[in-house]
Amino acid sequence: MRKYVFSLSSLLLLFTSSAWSQSSSIKGTVTDTVSKTNLPDAVVAVLGKKDSILIKFVRTDKAGNFLIKQLPQDSLIVQVTHPDFADYVDMLKPGSAELNLGSIQMTPKSKLLEEVFVRSNKAIVVKGDTIEYKADSFKVQDGANVKELLKRMPGLQVDKNGQVTAQGKKVEKVLVDGEEFFSDDPAVVIENLRADAIDKVQSYDKKSDQAEFTGVDDGTRSKTLNLVLKEDKKKGLLGKVVIGGGTFDRYSSQAMLNFFKGKKKLSVYGIGSNTGVTGLGWEDRGKFSQGFDMDDAEIMGGGMIMINSGDGDFDDWSNSYNDEGIPRSIKAGAHFSNKWNSDKQNMNGNYSVKNLNLNANGNSLTKYVLPDSSYYSKESHNTSSRQTEQLFSGLYDVKLDSASSLRFKVNGKLENADKRTFTSTESTDDELRAVNRNNRTNSSKSDAGTFLGSVLWRQKFKKKGRTLSLTASYKRITRDSKGFLNSETDFFDNTGFPYRRDTIDQYKVNTSTTNAVSSKLVYTEPAGKKGIVEFNYVFNRTATVSDRKSFDKTGDKYSELNDLYSIRYGLNYLTNSAGVKYQYNGKKITASFGSNIGVNNYIQNDSTGKQALSFQYINLFPTSRFMYKFSAQKNLSLSYTGSPSPPGIDQIQPILENTNPLYVTIGNPELKQSYNHTFSLFYNDYKVLTGRSIWINGSFNPVQNAIVTNQNTVSGVTTQQYVNTEGNYNYYFSGSYGFKLKGDIYAGFDLNTSGSRYVNFINTLKNINNQSSVGIRHNMGKYKDGKYDISYNLGVSYNFSTSSIGELKSNFWRQEHNGRFNYFFTKKLQVGTEINFYLRQKTDAFTSSNSMAIWDASVSYKIFKKNNGVFKLEVNDILKERRGYDRSFTSNYIYERNYNMLGRYGLLSFTWNFTKSPGATK
């Protein structure tokens, strides 16, 4: 094996310089490494290195020999392929004489997990479904982080927000030496770990632990990057420190220290900033409060249900940061992992704490269309909030023996928040006459906690494919919030005269507790040489109790309980299901199909704890998946799943929710479950050598008995309740084509479309809202080591929306242009600039211009002998045009929002990357 890894270029060094100067043809023999026999009918192709265009190809004769004559003297790529063997690729530069490549050894796919070796100028290795990049083969600046390294690798893209896409899919996890590393914040790894510490980057689709163990594919995939550290970097210290301060009291500083010793890893980091850096991973940027997935992935699958939730309530008075306002954030975290006892025991733990203080203000304009009229609502607000959140996770994995193992997992989240929002709203009719005016203040203090513990036991038997596994988990969610609602609403008649004033002065106490117990038992049995059958049983029990109390003010105390807005209500879900699934695993075809059948009981309890209502359903949980593998990096996948979605307690409990007095919600205890169907398509075709990629994704999701809104609007006040209906669906389709041009220029095109049909009810009439969007994106760029880095991105989309109520139509286009240019005057001095243009079409409802140009620029200078210290001066929003803007359309209204954002400022920072490792050079 080791001999095989060496490239042909190493063998060519054995030839004399005279041989190089006299060569014009190549010959050799292709050999099977297992049977030790020569291989006939293998295809030997020669491609040009610059453009990868095929020059010549031949097949090996019966003795496995080949000869290709009259080749150009440029650098060439030699590729040897055979249907039953791993591809072999290498580079050479023939001269004017015959060059004998000797014996080229091919490895059968069946013996080496379909291992494909690619040894080229980009040092890419393909092993089955895994693409492996040799990090040192990709040039980056001294002191560059992993994010800059990923940008240089074919098939990987990193957008301006730090989101990584690998082979057309968004990366969900980043591992270090196969272990989760700051699992709640993957961007911490790629933005703070140095590129020169990485030996290899592996990209693959990670299956669930259960699927990897049983061999039965459950369809769960997460695109994953694994960063393999260099051996000399696994001992010692890696670190990065950034200190920055600027105009308007701006600051942004961070530090990360990594201590490595073999398989033991300890890392800590801290971030403090008021420039919008919250330290979150790419999926969480702009969603500060939602950065932790508490689902137990081990139990997902047959028999699992997804619970609907409402549009939010008092408890959700937003602990979120949606780019609105100017945040001041502090975050710190720690990670520890270790393996011992010959890797039979493994421990992994993460902890982080973050604090966010936010002052924000904004306004919105909404046009509502009713069956016989329309009206406008103008809203403005300002908010001050503080949120603290702690996250922790732990894993302990132990191999009991060669055939059995135990895995324990714990996850937790603790959070508390203070928030105060003042809102002013004015509603007018279509002739701009006043309908109502509202001023209100919402204030709240909340504490919440989530805990999840799970255990997984797995046992293999002597017969291959026969396994037994058991997963059990417990999840507890608690929330406690207290706050005040002060509101004053004036109503006007047709002459503009105020005829009524409603006032609310309430103290609200809301508590809720959810306890969930789940378990899944799985047994697998081989069925023939390529088949396997899975039998499973799933049990779920979820109990939620919500206690809401509103107290009206009497005198100087809030002592009078308001029954209209107060209730204690319980909701229990109990699910038992069993099922069978068959999977076929062939060389080209992988297919599975099966279903669980379960009995689901939904029981509602009133304030005394007695049963109020109950529903029972017999549900099917069908699932099927078909994948055809044309080659290692070209496949087509089709899948279907079906599952019920019961309503959440916020949607059913019979209580009025008046957090917004102009938009009141009441629960519906008679609400039934909906049923979701999901049809998915995925196709990929990726060529390692040329970097050409084709990716197609699609999904169609019809919903039976969908849970929708039933709204009744009078005098600008909407009362909403959830009901069931038919006819809803949504879909999306996206396709991308990426390629490389001569001169290492990369380019790509993305085409996407999405849409939905949403049926709801407006003032007792059925409303059908159809939405669709069509867009195209284009990106192009070039990087020349030590010279420049230039890129351009374009995005254009057109949006359509129609509603049957009032024949509401809203069609508009938008464009986004992004240009980025960095120029290296010397190895130490670099200047960079980036400009973004946002162009948005005016509409009948929104006639103001919301186009803008955001221009940023920077200059940096490296110091120290190894250039690992950097001074950087940057100016953001030079033109002072940055502002928050959002436009959306749904149901019977279109909506436009404007809000404050971080504006122009300058920042001077110093970054120091340091290493202290045995044998390290810097």
Q: What would the 3-class secondary structure string for 791-832 be?
A: EEEEEEEEEEEEECHHHEECCEEEEEEEEEEEEECCCCEEEE
CA distance 409 to 475: 12
User: Would you give the end-to-end CA distance of the chain in angstroms?
Assistant: 33
| Single pTM value for the model | 0.77
- CA-CA distance, 776 to 778, in Å (whole number)? 7
Q: How far apart are CA 61 and CA 511, in angstroms?
A: 79
| Strand 169-170, strand 173-176: pairing | unpaired
Q: Are 425 and 706 in contact (CB under 8 A)?
A: no
Spatial contact of 304 and 577, defined as CB atoms under 8 Å apart:
no
**pLDDT at residue 760 in the model:** 94
The candidate with the shortest Cα–Cα distance to 571, out of 609, 620, 619, is: 609
Token digits of residue 181: 């590393």
The confidence score (pLDDT) of residue 218 equals 60
C-alpha angle 557-563-567 in degrees, rounded to nearest 5? 110
pLDDT at 94: 64
Question: What pLDDT is attached to residue 765?
Answer: 92
pLDDT below 50 — which residues of the chain?
Answer: 1-23, 113-122, 280-301, 309-320, 919-922
The answer to whether residues 848 and 841 touch, using CB atoms and an 8 Å cutoff, is: no
Confidence (pLDDT) at 47 = 80
Tens digits of residue pLDDT in 79-134: 888 877 877 888 777 665 678 888 888 877 665 543 444 444 445 676 666 788 88
Give the pLDDT score at 310. 46
654-680 pLDDT tens trace: 888 899 999 999 999 999 999 999 999
Local structure of 563: helix, strand or coil:
helix
pLDDT at residue 700, as a whole number: 97
- State whether residue 232 is helix, strand or coil: helix
pLDDT, residue 184, reads 55
pLDDT of 741 reads 80
Give the type of residue at 583: Q
Question: What does the alpha-carbon distance between residue 183 and residue 198 come to, in Å, rounded to a whole number?
Answer: 19
